[in-house]
Amino acid sequence: MTNKLPYFTEGNVVKGFGRGSKELGIPTANFPIEIVQQLPEEITAGVYYGWAQVDEGPVFKMVMSIGWNPYYKNTVKSMETHIIHKFKEDFYGSNLKVCMLGFIRPMRNFSGLDELISAINKDISDSEEALDKPENIKIKTDNFFATKSRNTQSSSGATCCI
């Protein structure tokens, strides 16, 4: 898994399950299935930390869930990015660039919603701590975030690079 990190990818933000903001109070930006399908096998289901950018805006810390979310019994693998920043409005259709830098924990099930929310909040805290390390801060200014998006609003929104 770690030999494929850092992993850079981008694509258009699509509507997810609608649980992040409403049920959990932790909004996520979701990639289309085409982006999820391009993940290398070595990037296993779990929670990752890294950097994210919407359109050509600022680069923010992020935490990302990759997998089937066993608590919700999802049947489709997803990549759900929680950008650690308060946005004023939704940005569906916008280009999202992410760089996954590290692994936090494997996917797991939870006995209740409160336990799930607590785990996500710990993931966010762990991500912030990891991203404050000098070796991770320097990735925030990587050319990947400085260059114009290669994603030209294709029908699938799919672009990917390593």
Q: What positions carry a catalytic annotation?
A: 80
Q: Which residue type does 22 have?
A: K
